[in-house]
C-alpha cells in the first residue's frame, strides 16, 4: 500500500510539472522597462545571448514551449511564473531587469521544453533583431498569410541560426546579407495572428496573444 501511494504521488507530481499554468496579473510587464536596456537578454542558446525582439515597455508576456526536435534548447533568464520545478533547475532566477516568463503546456509538441519562446506584443509593434549578425534568409511564414520568418546568423557563432517568426512589414533596410544589431535594427512588425492561430500565449495574459516566436537551430 505504501509503495502504491508513493507511485501515485510521483505520477501526480510529474503531471503537475508538465501541465501547470497560470495567468499574468493585469498590468504586469514581463520585463521592468525602468531597469532594462533595449537589448535585454531573454535567454542563451549555445552560448549566444538572445535579446528581446520587442522593446521592454511594449512586452505583454513571455512563454516558452517545445517546437520540434531540431531546435537548440534555450536557457531562460528570469523567474518562471509557472513554477515548474524541472525548469527552475536550469533558469537563472531573479534578474536586474525583473524578467518573468511562463513555461507553457507542451500541447503534445516534441523537442526541448524551452526550444522556442513566444514574445507577446500588440499587432503592429516594431520587431528588432534578437542578435547581432547577418540576415541569412527571409521566407514566408507557413503559419499565417502575409507573415515572414527572418533568419539571422549571429556574428559570434556562424553555425547557429536564430529565427524570428510571425513578422510582417519587413523593413526596407532589412534583406538577405544585411547586417543587424541586437535590440537596435528594426526588422519588421508583429503580425496579427490572434484571429487565425488562437495563440497559446493568450492563456497566460490578458491580451489577445499576438506575438513573435524566437528559436535557434544549428546548420551542422
**For 110-119, how does the pLDDT look when each residue is reduced to its tens digit (9 = 90+)?**
999 999 999 9
pLDDT digit string (tens) for the chain, length 220 residues? 545 444 444 444 443 443 344 444 444 689 999 999 999 999 999 999 999 999 999 999 999 999 999 999 999 999 999 865 555 555 557 788 999 999 999 989 999 999 999 999 999 999 999 999 999 999 999 999 999 999 999 999 999 999 999 999 999 989 999 999 999 999 999 999 998 999 999 999 888 999 999 999 999 7
Distance, in Å, from the CA atom of 24 to the CA atom of 26, rounded to the nearest integer, reads 6
Task: Look at residues 154, 207, 188 and name the one whose alpha carbon lies nearest to residue 53.
Answer: 188
pLDDT at 7: 45
Domain range holding 71?
A: 2-218
Number of domains observed in the structure of the chain: 1
Which string of DSSP letters, residue by residue, matches 50-98? EE-SS-GGG---EEEE---TTBPPEEE-BEETT--HHHHTTS-B--TT-
Q: How far apart are the first and last CA of the chain?
A: 51
Distance, in Å, from the CA atom of 218 to the CA atom of 161, rounded to the nearest integer, reads 6
pLDDT at 33: 94
Match 523567474 to its residue by C-alpha cell: 79
CATH code of the domain containing 55: 2.70.70.10
Amino acid at each position: 500500500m505504501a509503495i502504491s501511494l508513493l507511485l501515485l504521488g510521483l505520477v501526480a507530481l510529474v503531471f503537475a510539472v508538465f501541465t501547470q499554468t497560470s495567468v499574468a496579473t493585469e498590468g504586469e510587464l514581463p520585463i521592468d522597462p525602468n531597469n532594462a536596456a533595449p537589448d535585454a537578454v531573454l535567454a542563451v542558446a549555445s552560448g549566444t545571448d538572445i535579446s528581446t525582439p520587442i522593446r521592454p515597455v511594449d512586452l505583454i508576456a513571455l512563454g516558452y514551449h517545445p517546437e520540434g526536435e531540431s531546435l537548440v534548447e534555450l536557457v531562460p533568464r528570469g523567474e518562471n511564473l509557472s513554477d515548474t520545478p524541472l525548469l527552475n533547475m536550469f533558469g537563472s532566477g531573479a534578474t536586474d531587469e525583473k524578467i518573468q516568463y511562463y513555461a507553457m503546456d507542451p500541447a503534445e509538441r516534441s523537442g526541448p521544453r524551452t526550444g522556442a519562446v513566444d514574445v507577446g506584443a500588440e499587432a503592429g509593434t516594431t520587431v528588432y533583431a534578437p542578435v547581432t549578425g547577418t540576415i541569412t534568409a527571409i521566407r514566408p511564414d507557413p503559419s499565417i498569410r502575409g507573415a515572414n520568418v527572418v533568419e539571422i546568423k549571429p556574428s559570434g557563432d556562424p553555425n547557429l541560426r536564430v529565427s524570428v517568426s510571425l513578422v510582417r512589414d519587413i523593413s526596407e533596410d532589412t534583406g538577405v546579407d544585411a547586417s543587424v544589431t541586437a535590440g537596435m535594427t528594426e526588422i519588421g512588425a508583429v503580425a496579427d495572428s490572434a484571429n487565425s492561430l488562437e495563440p497559446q500565449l493568450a492563456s497566460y495574459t490578458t491580451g489577445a496573444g499576438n506575438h513573435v516566436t524566437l528559436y535557434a537551430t544549428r546548420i551542422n
